[in-house]
Structure 1
């Protein structure tokens, strides 16, 4: 293609591939003027022979569009933040794996797959002094369940949620619910207590108390 400098009218011959389909910034080798050259802006007033006769010994400088350094920095910062979040989640998932498995039991299989041991809820703890009583309060039947959790291990243990299941005839479940004990963790030998009352419990013959997720 044939192009001409808009300032000094110096003309050049360039291969179409040097400009590209989107155009490109070029600079005149004679006067130093810079302009954006589109691929379809050929100079119709001169033939290839005319340009060849007056063409300077040097060709115009074709400049690449400047890189967006700010965008590059933002992209690198974004990847750095992503890596930091992944590492933080991985560290938190390792440290709190017992609590995660308690909230979502299928996670135990994932931890076992990567070789991490996960203790089931209630490890090192023992239920004791369990008691259930059916009575009438305010004219309505109420099922009261209470008990204790003791730390029988030699280390601090988190206290899991207690699951209570009422059983009717033929030991079929009537209702199931969870109860939180207090305090939330126990030193060796310490005891946590829980108590709950269910109104209108139905026909209950037996109550089963376990650690939730265990």
Structure 2
């Protein structure tokens, strides 16, 4: 007869005479003791198809328990559903491992300059929002003969605040171009200061720069400019190259005044 352990499914081939009403056996694999009468399965020619059963002898309960030790067959193979669940779990674990590895690799190989580039792009976007409603008015360019410096190129005009709220510390960039449109020289300048024609003719370079960057004039004229308010600007180039044929001006910076504390 074929006996299957009800706990671990290990199977044994025991003599039919061992199946007494009160006979018990102990499994050699899990050590579980069980009643033979409850687990007896019919055998075919003393064998279960597909498995080689071992034999045990004895009729006494103690003999059966003692003889069963060492006569065990392989446990019943896992059900297909269990194998499928194990395979699924393995696949999920591998996918998670690949995702974690990919994330770690992306972090490791993220370009070192990427964060800096993102920050610079954000700053440029914020700056463009601050100047989009600042307009230029009455812009002109002309040359002056300076007694100390020779010929100087002057670009002047006014900036207009077309925002509905105040702006301040507006800065412009003036450029000189050759006939092909290539930039020959550029210069940035805070608005709010100008000098007279006489000063342009007689002052040296250092004196002119000091006058055009006078902090008192800049703070007086280029702070808390109201909506529709205007501010003058002047940019001077010393001894400009003879290849210059064109000029250009653009607003490059403006700020929102801090809120006043009440």
TM range (shorter): 0.3 to 0.5
Q: Which has the higher helix share?
A: 2
What is the TM-score when the length of structure 1 is the normalising length?
A: 0.44
What is the TM-score when the length of structure 2 is the normalising length?
A: 0.36
Greater C-alpha radius of gyration: 2
Higher relative contact order (CA 8 A, sep 6+): 2
Q: Which has the higher strand share?
A: 1
